[in-house]
Structure 1
């Protein structure tokens, strides 16, 4: 049986050392792993190409770890045209118009499949090889979104690892008086018997009371334990300084049931949005960091959604929270408090996030301006937040503690690493991939090229020069 080789020729790597970053490298992949990394020979004819080896022309671009959606809604992207017109842009309005559109998903299953396929395809073309994809389960859609998500997970196997979240966006408790969870919970529980689900999740903040929200967390953690799944919460999605952050309750319950790093393996509890944490004091961050040393809870910021939806004007017309405080500043939080934060896209073209794109690198670029991030170590952290940190956050990364603290921040491949990359052809240094991500890309998953994206370029000046040369 022949061995599968791929040779990625003449690329820059994201070395922290400036001299190494200027060097061109050849990266050889064998059977899904990095087999060899060597300085590129200036003479192509001197490069030894193994038999049965695919050669990828690097064009002296930058080879980065492949990208990751740590938080993406597979069923709710690209539905803005199906929603009622937005009149206020508020969160209650977004919930209302989305629920109305979602009620039609069972009758529009071909559209649901097409939109989800577009999301995956465009993501892979941008360099995404891993995603945590939410599909909703409730009395409006029942198992329709889940079944399509599981179908797509199977269809895209070998191109992109899709981690399906059986997700309860709606309340588990039907009323303020309810003592037991209702039909939404029963549907969610029955869904977990289907093979292929990796995560169970919910949005505790939609429950009728804080007490019910705490019960919601307990139910989800219990289901995750029973079915050996990750748990995922949309949590602390507010900017209310008077609201006690529910992350403390999630951690308390994790400790109560013994969900620790020592016992859980790669299983994680993840919280998305977590905008309230941006108001933490240094003491609160220190407390959280200490808790995270023992308990495997991870954090995902969703900048495109958070800065759009959070911090709406108060009744007197003033903003209660500055723009840059409406989402978590991943680079600063790591620098000042030693807590890593992933960043993810969440939604595109729906009422929660009308704007933005599926390319995670655009989040890194957004972070530079939004948080006035001006140093290379911070740029590296932003880059990491949409690639290796995101993978670790959803339990699909290496999790090597020494690597995450290395000078290169885990952004430079090592022999034996999974051969999962995005090659940004137009970038000639890693900094450009953060500051102005190029369009032309090649995606490599498990040592095999799975997508190429190229711009078709034309200008009248080019055509005039061609005609003049021909004449």
Structure 2
């Protein structure tokens, strides 16, 4: 499956609406000779008198979407016929580890490329122009998952900016395979300069001591190699277990990881144990991060967390609590940086959900009871501008308004009939797109100033002007 066809360079998009504006605007683009990326040159009021009679509502132009945390190699395992006997029976975390470990034994490069293309195609068509993609390195898969990611990153570079995470899902300081897994991680980091991020899962180690060694190794190697850092952390709801969050933060501080010493970001994912923190613990955590200026972002992964993150089994009760980071509260109450990610798709860790980040923002309305217009704008930021900044691809921008000099990565929500009944229901605001996201056929995606050509979107659309 080839990447999507892209248009010629856009000169302008005319007569669109922007976030928090009822007026219509024209967006023009520029292409600096020293950069492969198109940028927004100007945003000016649209002259409605010079336009032909419009029969549909103007498209809504917003910043494009981002996957800040998604597993490329494990996507859509359930769609492979060879894994028909590896479907969940209990839904437990240990079962997901076991089923996925078995499926990994059958991974081949063609299989990884095919499923990776499914993920990329469905993501890009939804409006995703950047993603942080985890690929595993261990004694079972060797380096083949990284090899697949490097191939896909090159093939799809005109449609999506991919960050590759060299990821240790398995232990690297315990079990019979720890030494081999560490050796393979080091080999991958040496062989593939395309790797952008080092990621590990400290909680899979068999002891607290090994988990802390895991953290030490990852922090040190990321600093030495000038990479971003990404931990799967504290993925449980057990108050008897020590939260590794404190050790991670103290290690980062001791090693001198702050915004003055490095531009690289630290991402902490899942962290469901933190949902049991008291208010004073949260305040202590926020003060630690702010005082030492540590560039830490938290990524909530609600589709996985709500499915899997539950407290230790209690047979005498019907109440089964679930935990996922309260991202809006982290941002508003404690001034922390938080975003939302898809995590897994179509496997035992997360057998439900789609590759559309906007559906995740929609889920957040219910999960966080965040249904006001202001809430929806924050949720959109968490799968868009905030997410892009959190993975180190942009400066943190607190607004969904477009601005001059911004990279030309947009998604336009168009008034198109998706029902086949000759009826369309437009989405004229951020709130309307988050409350009930329109389908992919109503979305046009612009990457670096070029329009992705789909079945309905194309140069024939009157609002687009192209360079000669």
Common topology (TM > 0.5): yes
Question: Partner of 2:244 in structure 1?
Answer: 246
Could you tell me which residue of structure 1 aligns to residue 445 of structure 2? 443
Normalised TM-score (structure 1): 0.85
Aligned to 1:357: 354
After superposition, the Cα gap between the structure-2 partners of 1:58 and 1:304, relative to the gap in structure 1 and judged at 3 Å, is farther
Q: Aligned to 1:34, what secondary structure does the other structure show?
A: strand
User: Is the counterpart of residue 92 in structure 1 residue 88 in structure 2?
Assistant: no
Gap regions ≥5 residues in structure 1: 16-20, 47-56, 405-409, 456-471
For residues 80-129 of structure 1, the C-alpha deviation after alignment (integer angstroms, 9 at most, x for no partner) is 24152321111100100110001110xx3212111101101110110000
Matched residue count: 422
**Structure 2 length normalisation: TM-score?**
0.86
Q: Does 1:156 align with 2:156?
A: yes
2:8 equivalent to 1:6: no
Q: 2 CA distance for matches of 1:24 and 1:86?
A: 50
Asked if structure 2 preserves the Cα contact closer than 8 Å seen for 1:348 and 1:357, the reply is yes
Equivalences for residues 240-279 of structure 1 within 5 A: 240-265=238-263, 267-279=264-276
SS at structure 2 position matched to 1:263: coil
Residue of structure 1 in register with 2:420 after alignment: none
**SS of 1:192's equivalent?**
helix
Give a deviation string over 1:392-443, Cα, whole Å, max 9, x none.
11111223xxx43xxxxx2101111111111111422221111111111111
Distance in 2 (alpha carbons) for counterparts of 1:287 and 1:200: 27
The question of 1:206 aligning with 2:204 is answered yes
Aligned equivalents of 1:200, 1:334: Cα separation in 2: 25
The DSSP-based 3-state class of the residue aligned with 1:96 is helix
> Structure 2: how far apart are the matches of 1:341 and 1:454?
35
Unaligned 5+ segments in structure 2 are 1-7, 32-37, 415-425, 458-468
Secondary structure of the corresponding residue to residue 64 of structure 1: strand
Which runs of 4 or more aligned residues in structure 1 lie more than 4 Å from their structure 2 counterparts after TM superposition? none
Give the counterpart of 2:48 among 21, 42, 66: 42
* Aligned match for 1:348, one of 318, 341, 345: 345
Distance 1:153 1:358 in 2: 17
SS of 1:414's equivalent?
coil
Task: Kindly indicate whether the alpha-carbon contact (under 8 Å) linking 1:58 and 1:423 is maintained by their aligned counterparts in 2.
Answer: no
- In structure 2, distance between residues paired with 1:79 and 1:182: 28
Taking the aligned partners of 2:112 and 2:157, their CA distance within structure 1 comes to 19
Q: Which residue of 1 aligns with 2:306?
A: 307
Q: Secondary structure at the match of 2:355?
A: coil
Q: Does the CA contact (< 8 Å) of 2:87 and 2:348 recur in 1?
A: no
Residue 4 of structure 1, CA deviation: 4.7
Q: Distance in 2 between matches of 1:133 and 1:5?
A: 28
Alignment partners' CA distance in 2, 1:452 and 1:334: 36
Conservation of the 8 A alpha-carbon contact between 1:75 and 1:116: yes
